[in-house]
Amino acid sequence: MTFYTAKGDDGTTGLLGEGRVPKYHARMEAIGALDEASAALGLARAQCTAHPTPPILLETQRDLYKLMAEVAATPENAARFHFIDSSRVEWLEQQTDEISTLIEMPKEFILPGDTLGGAALSMARAIIRRAERRVVSLFDEEEVSNPDLQRYLNRLSSLCFVLEILENQNAGRKTSLAKP
């Protein structure tokens, strides 16, 4: 068994369905950003110590895996890979609301780096926002049709923000503000 196919040596990659697209195609840029977001969430999950954080991040990574599949699906196969819906967006909102009750919200912009877990969550949040921009672009270009994909990513970045503050507080560190 080999771990390579060499099918992409021509600069194209397959979709979930018929056809191939260039590796630089907007759909592949979105999938790449989503893959990076999942990896960043995994790094955060490995470093976070606040009790609710790792299981929440694991569930979001599983959601991102399914979200990537929907983005990778051709229009005729998209319904088969449709998983992210308003209930998943609501789950993120619920998690964010619950975490918000546990933290003291800063009154100014914050700087990442007060704890390893918090810094990893900040990096994940920034990557998720890039993935969101890529998915919004696909939606505007009618490459994907599920508006809950962009809503999910928007809420996920908010969840990462409150989890970052929770991680800092859990470690006994005050979150650094952009202005002294």
Q: Is residue 100 part of a domain?
A: no
Residue position matching structure tokens 């979105």: 30
| pLDDT > 80? residue 180 | no
Whole-model pTM?
A: 0.93
What CATH number should be reported for the domain holding residue 90?
1.20.1200.10
- Domain-located, residue 124: yes
Bridge partners (DSSP) of residue 110 are 177
Classify residue 53: in a domain, yes or no: yes
Is 65 domain-assigned? yes
Within a domain: 41? yes
For residue 32, give its domain range.
23-95+112-170
Residue 134 lies in a domain: yes
**Per-residue confidence at 15, pLDDT binned at 50, 70, 90?**
confident
15 inside domain: no
Q: Each residue of 63-86: pLDDT tens digit?
A: 999 999 999 998 888 889 999 999
Would 140 be classed as within a structural domain? yes
C-alpha 121/C-alpha 124 separation (Å) is: 5
State how many domains the chain has.
1
DSSP readout, the chain? Answer: --S---GGGGSEEE-BSS-EEETTSHHHHHHHHHHHHHHHHHHHHHH--STTHHHHHHHHHHHHHHHHHHHHB-GGGGGGG----HHHHHHHHHHHHHHHTTS---SS-B-S-SSHHHHHHHHHHHHHHHHHHHHHHHHHTTS---HHHHHHHHHHHHHHHHHHHHHHHHTT-PPPBS--
Q: Which of 117, 126, 122 has its CA nearest to residue 46? A: 117
87-145, pLDDT tens digit by residue? 999 999 999 999 999 999 888 888 899 999 999 999 999 999 999 999 999 999 999 99
